[in-house]
Amino acid sequence: MRYFSILFYLFFTFSLHAQSGDYLINVERGSFYSETLKMEKSYQVFLPESYNYSNASKYPVVYLMDGDYNFYYQTGVIEMLSNISEKIPEVVVVAISDNGNAGYRLDCTMKTENNPQGNTATFIEYLEKELKPKIRTTYRVTPFEILIGHSLGGLFATNVMLEKPESFDAYIAIDPSFWWEENLVVATADSLFKGKEDLAANFFVTLADSKQMGVHEFVGVLEKRFPDSKKWSFKYYENETHGSVGMISVKDGLVKIFENWELKREKFYELGTATNIINHYKNLSDQYQGITRIPPLIFSNITYYFFRKNQPEELKLIEAAVQDHFPASQDDFYAKLASYHVETEKYEEAETLLNKSIMTNPYAYKSYDGLSKLFFAKGMPEQAKVHAKTALKIAKQLKARQWQINELESNLVKVNK
């Protein structure tokens, strides 16, 4: 009877949400009047796959210059890196809209004698005083922030790194227009870097097969001032054009920034124990200022490893760590561990885990899916159908990715036969 009580609570909660319209979608667009820029400014937000699953989850933020132009391909790369390959954590992406090409050029360039309307300083103020506070109060994000710009946007990102390096934790400048004003940014960097021990933030700069961009000259300054620094990286893509270099630059740049994120096999075996593995992710959470979800595929492998080795004490340590430090991973943990119990016909243990997950988070659709498979394995098709439908309903409400919806629909077809 306990799971039917949970179902009633869940559907009651959904009815309240439906009346208020109080749930998010994966892509949102917003705008507000900027007192700094004296105009209406728009932005677009891409939410990670797990954003709606738990109110406990928090995410680093990637800000994209020329956001409407770059939004779809860059968020596609980020989706692949975070949710498919798990090479970086999930992130919230904020695409900064421009107000036409002429205005964008002014926003990306400094005020000089030849460019008296250059607006970089004011646009930085808009980011710092208006857009970033808006994002921080609207979405569940950590303070770890990255700025990405391509071409003139790369010039802008670099100027932010030079003038206000503390504004972001990392910068990616893609085939940047360092040629502007006769390589002014190169001379500026050489002057500002003089006497400094290292960069204040991570900086990743790329160059396509483009001529006279000024990038080699800028890299020369970095090599002169910070020859041993690990905070800057440069990549030259001789087979890419100015238009095609963006995708691979975003991929390589984010992997470099989050280079410690992926838990490879050899590192996993080196860590060896649940305590060491959890401490590894706690350290990453500290480094990236508040990560609350362990990558689910990696987490599945970790759980299976200790389950297969029959080390329940290690699994208990992981469970406690999830509850205390990684609450957004609870559905991942309980659903996966329960599935291993179902495979070995330990149905009572599996049901206890899944109900514990749902009591903690009534939107834990993976655990409802697990209950469906559990009851189907026990030869109880009616209960299996109820939970399969519930899992599907929740996943759609939470805007799960379509491939996840497909898996749940496939299970519903199976238990309906």
What percentage of the chain has pLDDT greater than the value 90? 83
| Cβ atoms of 387 and 407 closer than 8 Å | no
The model's confidence at residue 232, banded by pLDDT at 50, 70 and 90, is very high
Reference 288, options 391, 162, 145; nearest CA is: 145
CA distance linking residue 94 with residue 29, whole number of Å: 10
Residue 251 pLDDT more than 70?
A: yes
| Cβ atoms of 199 and 248 closer than 8 Å | no
Residue 13 pLDDT more than 50?
A: no
CA distance linking residue 244 with residue 231, whole number of Å: 25
Query: Quick one: pLDDT at residue 22?
Result: 40
Query: Quick one: pLDDT at residue 25?
Result: 57
Give Cα 322 distance to the centre of its chain.
19
The model's confidence at residue 298, banded by pLDDT at 50, 70 and 90, is confident
Cβ neighbours around 409 below 10 Å, total: 15
Residue 296 pLDDT more than 50?
A: yes
- List the chain domain ranges: 35-257, 265-416
Query: Quick one: pLDDT at residue 179?
Result: 96
The model's confidence at residue 291, banded by pLDDT at 50, 70 and 90, is confident
Question: What is the rounded average pLDDT of the residues 209-220?
Answer: 94
| Cβ atoms of 393 and 355 closer than 8 Å | no
CA distance linking residue 239 with residue 262, whole number of Å: 27
CA distance linking residue 89 with residue 387, whole number of Å: 30
Reference 147, options 101, 205, 186; nearest CA is: 205
Residue 218 pLDDT more than 50?
A: yes
Q: Where are the alpha helices (DSSP H) in 67-119?
A: 67-79, 101-107
pLDDT digits 0-9 by tens, 324-373: 999 889 999 999 999 999 999 999 999 999 999 999 899 999 999 999 99
pLDDT digits 0-9 by tens, 321-330: 999 999 889 9
pLDDT digits 0-9 by tens, 302-315: 999 999 999 999 99
CA distance linking residue 44 with residue 217, whole number of Å: 34
CATH topology of domain 265-416: 1.25.40
Q: pTM of the predicted model, to two decimals? A: 0.90
Task: Identify the CATH homologous superfamily for domain 35-257.
Answer: Alpha/Beta hydrolase fold, catalytic domain (3.40.50.1820)
What is the spatial order of strands in the sheet that 170-174 belongs to? Answer: 27-34, 39-46, 92-96, 59-64, 141-150, 170-174, 202-207, 232-236
| Cα angle, residue 354 at apex, residues 353 and 359 outer, rounded to 5° | 100
Dihedral angle sign, alpha carbons of residues 236, 175, 233, 94: negative
| Strands 39-46 and 92-96, bridge-based pairing | antiparallel
CB burial string 227-263: b at 16+ within 10 A, e below: eeeeebbbeebeebebeebbebbbbbbbbbbbeebeb
Residue 23 pLDDT more than 50?
A: no
Residue 12 pLDDT more than 90?
A: no
More confident residue, 10 or 140: 140
The two tokens of residue 22 are 């109080």
What percentage of the chain has pLDDT greater than the value 70? 94
Query: Quick one: pLDDT at residue 273?
Result: 94
CA distance linking residue 1 with residue 408, whole number of Å: 24
The model's confidence at residue 53, banded by pLDDT at 50, 70 and 90, is confident
For residue 323, CA distances in Å to 18, 89, 312, 313, 387 come to: 29, 19, 17, 16, 24
CA distance linking residue 176 with residue 216, whole number of Å: 11
| Cβ atoms of 414 and 34 closer than 8 Å | no
Query: Quick one: pLDDT at residue 26?
Result: 86
